[in-house]
Amino acid sequence: MKRRGKNLVEATEPEVLDLVVRGGRVVTPDGVQAAELGILHGKIVRLAPEVTDPTHTELDAAGRYVFPGIVDAHVHFNEPGRTEWEGLAHGSLALAAGGGTCFFDMPLNSEPPVLDAAALRVKRELAEQQSCVDFALWGGLVPGNLDKLAGLRDAGAIGLKAFMSNSGIDSFPRVDAKSLYEGMKRAAKLGLLVAVHAEDDALAAKFTAEQQAKGRHDAKAWLASRPVEVELGAIRQALEFAGETGCALHVVHVSSPEGVALITEARAQRVDVTAETCSHYLLLNDKDVAKLGAPAKCAPPIRDEKRRLALWQELRAGHIQTVGSDHSPSPPEMKTAKNFFEIWGGIAGVQHGFQLLMNECAATADQDLPRLAAVLARNVARRFRIDDRKGLLAEGRDADFTLVEFGPKRTIKADDLWTRHRISPYVGRANRTRVTHTYVRGCPVWADGGVASGSPKGQFLRPTHT
Ligand SMILES: [Zn+2]
């Protein structure tokens, strides 16, 4: 009798939670609410105005927003092969310092590039050792690797990335129209999404030659060499191919409202396409590029102020589905050439880009943070089919979150950067946003504005294929 009684008590006793996040304002795409999170074994098991279950530890979030862990679908961490450009350890920590809990690494800047299953496994193993946040890996689509795509899918690639213009990496050639079309046909059969860097190579070459014939190689000439029509021509072609092949298409780093409009129109015609823009297109304009120089060089280039503001409108209208960092650093010596055309094109924004987006919304946080929670987390997880675990603060999901507060303005300094090289277009910029904590599966990676001890090792994520 006694033993039975004891078992009965144990069965009804609630399990002690690992952690309760107290007193914060929880952000979801539906709005901001005063709520608490109860966490057990790395999952959110309670989300309620008050969590009363017993708990081992508590985290005080009073006066802060509890924002979903950011899922950055677009980074170049350059490992293996070019670890001295960034590397998985530096890159993942800088992401966590900026509120990120998950990244998707692009296939091209590593050596070997991820063009088959074997290369994906090599990178996976490294990231499992080096990354402090969870991750997924892109495979590449290049001329001649069609018969490797099934292997990449089976190895867990999150999608395939193709360049419609020169990638800047010799071992990752651009796709010609035929190989893109064939690749998308194959990808559609395999249930793989294809992401494109959409710039028309021939047009870019033509405008570049025009600038160089004039003897111009400054930042303004670079901007003039890649006008919006270079992007639009390539987006049109990719949309046409997506419509014909039925392949899921993700247009990365759309830099112009005109590009977003093309994608919105195609979506209305039931083309399976999503638009990504990047934090720098929402934060910087062409005048900033002329002023900042090399740290603000990227392709497609940063546009004028009118377009920057129009992109914010498109984002608030729900026409931009995701925002990534396109974090693409290089060693300092590749950022110093006198000829702007020869400087490495890539912006290192993984740490400050997303928090500066929040900063832009500080005055309208309760309206705008939910929109950011959609484009930085929920929509990304959904599009790439990891939403059974990621992207949303909800019961049953991984306990990935970041605590954010708005304080007095502070100037971003090079010393604040956790990237390998302390180069960023945001150094010198005023920022009210503080990312005080970032937790991955219930474990702190970033705490009290510094690196947390005992950080978790990153877990590999693959899309759920239904
Ligand atoms: Zn990129």
Report the distance separating Cα 420 and Cα 449, nearest Å. Answer: 18
Q: What is the mean pLDDT of the chain?
A: 95
CATH no. for 68-383:
3.20.20.140
Ligand 1 mean position, distance from CA 40 (Å): 36
How does pLDDT run across 107-122, given as a tens digit for each residue?
A: 999 999 999 999 999 9
Ligand 1 mean position, distance from CA 327 (Å): 7
Ligand 1 mean position, distance from CA 286 (Å): 19
Ligand 1 mean position, distance from CA 263 (Å): 19
30 exposed, middle or buried (CB, 10 Å; 0-12, 13-18, 19+)? exposed
Residue written as tokens 């999170």? 37
Ligand 1 mean position, distance from CA 17 (Å): 40
DSSP string, 147-158: GGHHHHHHHT-S
* Structural tokens at position 110: 């590593």
pLDDT of 446 strictly over 70: yes
Ligand 1 mean position, distance from CA 249 (Å): 16
Furthest-apart CA atoms within the chain: distance in Å: 96
User: Which residues fall within 8 angstroms of residue 137, CB to CB, at 6 or more apart?
Assistant: 104, 105, 107, 114, 120, 123, 124, 127, 156, 157, 158, 460
Report the distance separating Cα 117 and Cα 380, nearest Å. Answer: 24
How does pLDDT run across 237-262, given as a tens digit for each residue?
A: 999 999 999 999 999 999 999 999 99
What average pLDDT does this structure show over 286-311? 96
pLDDT value for 453: 79
CA-closest candidate to residue 80, choices 42, 127, 115: 127
What average pLDDT does this structure show over 74-91? 95
* Bridge pairing between strands 249-251 and 273-278: parallel
Going by the DSSP 8-state scheme, the letter that residue 263 receives in this structure is H
Going by the DSSP 8-state scheme, the letter that residue 201 receives in this structure is H
Ligand 1 mean position, distance from CA 76 (Å): 6
pLDDT value for 13: 67
Going by the DSSP 8-state scheme, the letter that residue 335 receives in this structure is G
Ligand 1 mean position, distance from CA 167 (Å): 9
